[in-house]
Amino acid sequence: MNLQVNGGVLAPELTKADFQSAQETRWCPGCGDYAVLAAVQGFLPELGIPPEQMVFISGIGCAGRFTYYMDTYGVHGIHGRAPALATGLAATRRDLSIWVITGDGDALSIGAGHLVHALRRNVPIKILLFNNRIYGLTKGQASPTSETGKVTKSSPDGTREEPLNAVSLALGAEATFVARTIDRDKKHLPAVLRAAAEHPGAALVEILQNCPVFNDGAFEPYTDRTSAAETLVHLEHGEPVRFGAESTRGIARDPAGSLAVVDRTEDLLVHDAHRADPSLAFALSRLGQQPGEPLPIGIFRSVDHPVFASNHEALAENRSGFGEPELDALLHGGDTWTVGA
What tens digit of pLDDT does each residue of 277-309 get? 999 999 999 999 888 899 999 999 999 999 997
The helix-helix angle for 82-92 and 112-120 (nearest 10°) equals 30
pLDDT at 1: 41
More confident residue, 135 or 338: 135
pLDDT at 221: 94
Report how many helices (DSSP H) and strands (DSSP E) the chain contains, helices first: 11, 13
pLDDT at 139: 93
Exposed/middle/buried for residue 238 (C-beta within 10 Å: 0-12, 13-18, 19+): exposed
In eight-state DSSP terms, residue 330 is H
Amino acid type, 108: L
Q: Are 118 and 201 in contact (CB under 8 A)?
A: no
**pLDDT grade for 316, boundaries at 50, 70 and 90:** low
- For residues 168-173, average pLDDT: 98
* Domains, the chain, with CATH or none: 16-148+162-218+300-316 (3.40.50.970)
Q: Cα–Cα distance between 239 and 220 in angstroms, integer?
A: 26
pLDDT at 334: 74
Q: Cα–Cα distance between 21 and 37 in angstroms, integer?
A: 11
- For residues 242-262, average pLDDT: 94
